[in-house]
Structure 1
Amino acid sequence: MHSRKPFYLFVALLFALGLSASIYRGIEHHVPFLPGEQVQSWTVDAKVSFQGKGVPAEVSFSLPQDPAFEILVENTTSPGYGLTISNNEHDRRAVWSTRDAIGKQDLYYKVTLIPTGQIQIAAPDTPPAVEEYLWPATEQTAAEKVIEEVWSRSASNLTFAQQLMAVITGKDRSQNVELLLSSQSPTKLFVRMLHSKGIPAMEVNGLYLEDQRRRQQLSSFVEVYHKQQWVLFDLNKGTQGRPNNLLLWERTGRSVLDVMGGVNSLVNFSMLQDTRSALATSIDLMVNKNALDFSLYQLPLEEQSLFKSILLIPIGVLMVVFLRVIIGIKTSGTFMPVLIALAFIQTTLLTGLIGFLLIVSFGLMIRSYLSYLNLLLISRISAVIIVVIGIIGLFTMLAYKFGLSEGVTITYFPMIILAWTIERMSILWEEQGPKEVVMQGGGSLLVATLAYLAMSATWVQHWVFNFLGMHLVILALVLLMGQYTGYRLLELKRFKPLAGE
């Protein structure tokens, strides 16, 4: 006897590969696991204004590069200006240029962002180098006293930063702190004191996202290096940590806006929150990353629609295998119920059942007449096909004549399959009687109905098209059920007398 271990290992491998591929696609490409999911998006408009001096102007504007948000769409409006966007890994900037800028100039940048949920900002394993700040002689003594006092009350770089923020932002500030704040902002003082102790820190600019807000300005924050993470401090509010609605706009230490050839430069931000389809968002993100090379979404819409129907067939096949092998339902033809179920998806269930019964009933009556003509099999099947086409055409015209628009959809029935079904039922009637015809015909309709209910479920259609790895899982289940050699559930009724005894 051959060992079944290789078979079960193969099935387990198929199942694991299919499930892993589906989970990876959902996590890596943000494809929603359930249909109809929505995601929140933020649209941010930046308006850059300045006064041109009648000379060539060049405007360099920092672009957002925050791991907590992914860029979906970005565009600019700048008539008469040349535009270059540098996609530097750590410093993305838009550079507008023109030969002649006279009077008030307005440049616009618009970006649509999707939150990723990645609030923590990873830092390199090796701390960045720190340039120690040289204090002016009038401030050096005061700065050293404050730093040493706070340093003695701390145990690590993070606790030093926490204690230092409390000293700078507290209500009862010492005279030394007041002296230092008289010539610099709390944010810059915080960074310089951290650098004095060799602690990596940098000033960054962020934007609080609030729906339908206009003319907003960037706020200053400080990122402090601690255990391969950047910890955010807000010296204006005296808080630590990053809120969910904060977009870090500039994180390189450079200025947000540089204007050459103009004066009185200013940048204002407006923002709007929106809700959009999670699936459409994931497709747009994959397009941006050129990740559609092996996706069905790269196909034309017509082919996509075709594949959406084709990829439902494995679901119907799974239902047929389960109902025939495990349950024991008899059908007329092995996979005829799957094709009928596909037709039901186009016609709706009730219309499809009525149409199927009418076509098969009339076809059986005409087939009974053809049996008296002693035709060859090919000729008889050909005649049945022509008759089925005529019956479908007749019912379609009658449905249209009486205003029954649903009846027109019976043209979706597979005509060749119906012809063979009529031929098999007719032979079965002659050999085993009408009872067997009713059992197999009723079983076929039952299996087709259950397959239709499974194939028409929205979440099933979503999974089989967007998570192609699920087809490996279906294949594994079909192979596993193919090894079943026990009794069908409907066969157990033969043992009912034994159970009664």
Structure 2
Amino acid sequence: MSRLPFYLIVALLLVAGIGLSIHRHVQFEVPWTPGEQRQVWEIEAQVNFLADGGPAKVEMALPSTQQGFRVLTEHTASPGYGLSFLEENGSRRALWSIRDATGNQQLYYSSRIQVAPQARASETPPPSPKPDVVWERPYDTAASQVIDRAWSRSADPFTFTRELIREFSEQRQGENARLLLTQFDRVPLVVRLLNQAGIAAREVSGLMLEDGRRRQSLTPWIQVYDGDEQSLFNPTTGEQGRPENLLLWENAGKSVLEVQGGTNSQVYFSMLSRNQPAGAAVRSRMAEASDTILNFSIHSLPLEEQALFQTILLIPIGALVVVLLRVLVGIKTSGTFMPVLIALAFIQTTLATGLIGFLLVVAVGLVIRNYLSYLNLLLVARVTAVIITVIAIISLFSVLSYRIGLNAGLTITFFPMIILSWTIERMSILWEEEGPKEVLIQGGGSLLTAVLAYLAMNNPWIRHITFNFLGVQLILMALILMLGNYTGYRLLELRRFKPVTED
């Protein structure tokens, strides 16, 4: 029979599991390791203006997710004002309105913005250049000469922008540049000259992020387009590229703040930098993408169910340990997957308390089960009696440990009582049929397997991977299928061939 379908299934499971895991890491930025931190900026904008005593409208630009930054949450404080959020062509704005406002007014906007290197900006269409810019005399001649001088020293829109900005620097500032600066501000002037040269450009406003700063203002930058490429320029130095700590607050070339029905409007910014666990940011991203088909995530469940699945998803890890030890090593256990359930109990009780409790319950249970064998009871009645006995033993040990001040003994109730009862029953029958040696071999193998499964399942990295990357379950399935195809010798069986090697 061809094994090709089997290998295709294994390969499909591996590819699907690895693909889903990589997708969650790249698309939702789920970290590979636990305990990772993400830098988050808490930014507050305070708008102040003097109302005229009638209706007032305040419109302010808002930050949006962009390269290197992602907006997590945002809040406003504006008592008595109506508020709406506007979005057009990738630009976001907040609109406050009120029917009657008098005197000094203060509006607050706060947002939490995560530093996310994988974040990408929303599509903002480039501006249309306006080569037919109209100048008054003698500024038209000065503008043409400045453009010609910078054009001759450049090779593309970006180098032209750099040379044009340098024409207005103190080191290279000529008469034409000084004449233009007497009539126009530097940034709108450079944008106007770029448009006259047929280059798409606009003025944008950015916030330089510095921890603990208060009453900061936005700084102007020049955004230049060269086909599908774009770049930011410092209008003072001509340096190309966006600094890492620059957050573009307004990226559509519009005004940052517009106030109707008021005067003396100003906006100031305060900021703080904090670190938060990566899981908090992941939950926020999952909430945003809850309607996508590939967002098959435990994070979308209520917290109670999440805690339950965090333990359930560890069972395949314990099962893989059992398969490895039984198929490759050859360790004998009492029951196939009983060690996995005991390992789950160890997670709740801690390893030392769990080992002591397991040995005490099984030892006392075997003594009582030995007495029950003389009563010649039917199997169902005998097992039921063992179950009641195990419950009584666990209750007695819990009460005694609490009375003597050992609160850790109370966790013994996490042991699966039915599984313990069947373990005691099987070991008792094995004692009668094979002797105490076989009981020690299988009991010791079960305990060793349970301890190794506990160490694997309780590893912080494994707990993080299994909970956050469901594709790992497909990878585990593929590994177990491959182990199930193994027909070679077990490691413990090699001692049978030791005399052959000696000869």
TM-score, normalising length from structure 2? 0.96
**1:96-134 CA distances to partner (integer Å, 9 max, x unpaired)?**
11111100000000011012225886878x965211221
Q: CA deviation at 1:407?
A: 1.1
Match of 2:103 in 1: 103
Match of 2:308 in 1: 306
Deviates more, 1:367-376 or 1:103-112: 367-376
Match of 2:29 in 1: 30
Q: CA deviation at 1:399?
A: 0.8
Residues 381 and 423 in structure 1, CA contact (< 8 A), matched pair in contact too: yes
Q: CA deviation at 1:6?
A: 1.2
Alpha carbon RMSD of aligned pairs, Å?
1.7
Q: Distance in 2 between matches of 1:118 and 1:388?
A: 55
Q: Distance in 2 between matches of 1:56 and 1:310?
A: 59
Residues 38 and 276 in structure 1, CA contact (< 8 A), matched pair in contact too: yes
Residues 282/492 of structure 1: CA separation in 2 closer, same or farther (3 Å cut): same
Q: What secondary structure sits across from 2:215 in the alignment?
A: strand
**Which amino acid in the other structure matches residue 275 of structure 2?**
T
Residues 286 and 300 in structure 2, CA contact (< 8 A), matched pair in contact too: no
Q: What secondary structure sits across from 1:168 in the alignment?
A: coil
**Which amino acid in the other structure matches residue 110 of structure 1?**
S
Match of 1:458 in 2: 460
Q: Is 1:185 equivalent to 2:185 in the alignment?
A: yes
Alignment of 1:82-481 (within 5 A): 82-117=82-117, 128-132=127-131, 133-290=133-290, 294-481=296-483
Q: Distance in 2 between matches of 1:120 and 1:313?
A: 37
Residues 77 and 109 in structure 1, CA contact (< 8 A), matched pair in contact too: yes
Q: What secondary structure sits across from 1:239 in the alignment?
A: coil
**1:234-256 CA distances to partner (integer Å, 9 max, x unpaired)?**
11233211001001111111111
Deviates more, 1:305-314 or 1:443-452: 305-314
Name the % identity.
55
Q: CA deviation at 1:496?
A: 1.5
**Ranges in structure 1 where 5+ consecutive residues have no aligned partner:** none
Q: Distance in 1 between matches of 2:404 and 2:87?
A: 64
**Which amino acid in the other structure matches residue 91 of structure 1?**
S
**Which amino acid in the other structure matches residue 52 of structure 2?**
K
Q: Distance in 2 between matches of 1:77 and 1:65?
A: 19
Q: Distance in 2 between matches of 1:231 and 1:369?
A: 85
Match of 1:41 in 2: 40
Q: CA deviation at 1:452?
A: 0.2
Runs of at least 4 residues of structure 1 off by over 3 A? 118-124, 288-294
**Ranges in structure 2 where 5+ consecutive residues have no aligned partner:** none
**Which amino acid in the other structure matches residue 42 of structure 2?**
T
Q: What secondary structure sits across from 1:169 in the alignment?
A: coil
Q: Distance in 1 between matches of 2:427 and 2:121?
A: 69
**Which amino acid in the other structure matches residue 360 of structure 1?**
V
**1:25-52 CA distances to partner (integer Å, 9 max, x unpaired)?**
1111121211111000011111111001
Q: CA deviation at 1:371?
A: 1.1
Q: What secondary structure sits across from 1:232 in the alignment?
A: strand
Q: What secondary structure sits across from 2:54 in the alignment?
A: strand
Deviates more, 1:28-37 or 1:86-95: 86-95
Q: CA deviation at 1:170?
A: 4.5
Q: Distance in 1 between matches of 2:119 and 2:34?
A: 26
Q: CA deviation at 1:224?
A: 0.7
Match of 1:53 in 2: 52
Q: Distance in 1 between matches of 2:466 and 2:123?
A: 39
Residues 120 and 229 in structure 1, CA contact (< 8 A), matched pair in contact too: no
**Which amino acid in the other structure matches residue 430 of structure 1?**
E
Residues 35 and 278 in structure 2, CA contact (< 8 A), matched pair in contact too: yes
Q: What secondary structure sits across from 1:386 in the alignment?
A: helix
Q: Distance in 2 between matches of 1:229 and 1:465?
A: 40
Question: Number of aligned pairs?
Answer: 499
Residues 42 and 271 in structure 1, CA contact (< 8 A), matched pair in contact too: yes
